[in-house]
């Protein structure tokens, strides 16, 4: 995840922990009791239950991201499997010399295929066309829904100006997702999702098919 020290993006839970009251303890003059008092400057103790609340919030967000990642990967794997099946099926076509058929006026051979084989190929093409495509807003919404902003309801975020376009960061049509295709960038080959405050948050390594699609999309939309 990209951190920004100015907007504090990526430091939310660190800031929450640091904002917890700190306590110090003094031994009474009699030595028979201990007094607890709040001291943000010198106190080295925090309430364990309050700290657990912050950790629980962080874990909830981590679990949410993991669930989204796993669901996305499952859908991508299913799509890749259909594509592989289609490629394998096309390669099984009759193309040997004993299948060659020459038609009058055509010096190139034709290859006879059974109707059931052609129907099978067309059915696979239909499945691949209907399969969800990665890195599109429609894919995310159809199969995951919009993620509720559970953790920021009780946290006032700092308004940050919209960042300038990053070289090599190729955005989808809606601008919510992107792929980094600049080899000189340290995040080359990674997918990103735009945070509500405008900052990009890294997701996972992009597949080869996604990188090809991102480069093509960059040329079409003049993002290079």
**Has residue 125 got a pLDDT over 50?**
yes
**Has residue 112 got a pLDDT over 80?**
yes
Taking residues 136-158, what's their average pLDDT?
44
φ, ψ for residue 205, nearest 5 deg: -70, 135
**Has residue 2 got a pLDDT over 70?**
no
Q: Is residue 202 within 8 Å of residue 191, measured between CB atoms?
A: yes
Average pLDDT, whole number, for the chain?
Answer: 78
Taking residues 161-172, what's their average pLDDT?
73
Predicted TM-score (pTM) of the model is 0.39
Taking residues 147-170, what's their average pLDDT?
52
Predicted local confidence at residue 141, as pLDDT: 52
Tell me the domain boundaries of the chain: 1-46, 64-144, 157-224
């Amino acid at each position: 995840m990209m951190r920004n020290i100015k907007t504090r993006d990526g430091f939310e839970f660190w800031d929450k922990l640091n904002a917890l009251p700190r306590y110090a303890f003094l031994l009474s003059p009699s030595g028979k009791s201990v007094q607890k008092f709040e001291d943000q400057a010198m106190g080295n103790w925090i309430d364990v239950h309050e700290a657990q609340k912050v950790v629980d919030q962080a874990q909830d967000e981590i679990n949410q991201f993991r669930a989204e990642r796993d669901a996305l990967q499952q859908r991508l794997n299913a799509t890749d499997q259909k594509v592989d099946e289609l490629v394998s099926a096309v390669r099984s076509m009759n193309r040997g010399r004993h299948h060659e058929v020459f038609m009058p006026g055509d010096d190139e051979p034709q290859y006879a295929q059974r109707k059931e084989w052609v129907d099978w190929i067309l059915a696979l093409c239909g499945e691949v066309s209907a399969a969800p495509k990665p890195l599109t807003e429609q894919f995310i919404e159809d199969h995951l829904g919009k993620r509720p902003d559970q953790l920021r309801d009780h946290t006032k975020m700092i308004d940050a100006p919209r960042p300038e376009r990053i070289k090599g960061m190729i955005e989808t049509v809606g601008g919510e997702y992107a792929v980094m295709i600049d080899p000189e960038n340290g995040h080359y080959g990674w997918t990103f999702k735009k945070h509500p405050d405008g900052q990009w948050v890294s997701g996972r390594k992009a597949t080869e098919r996604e990188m090809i699609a991102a480069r093509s999309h960059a040329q079409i939309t003049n993002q290079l």
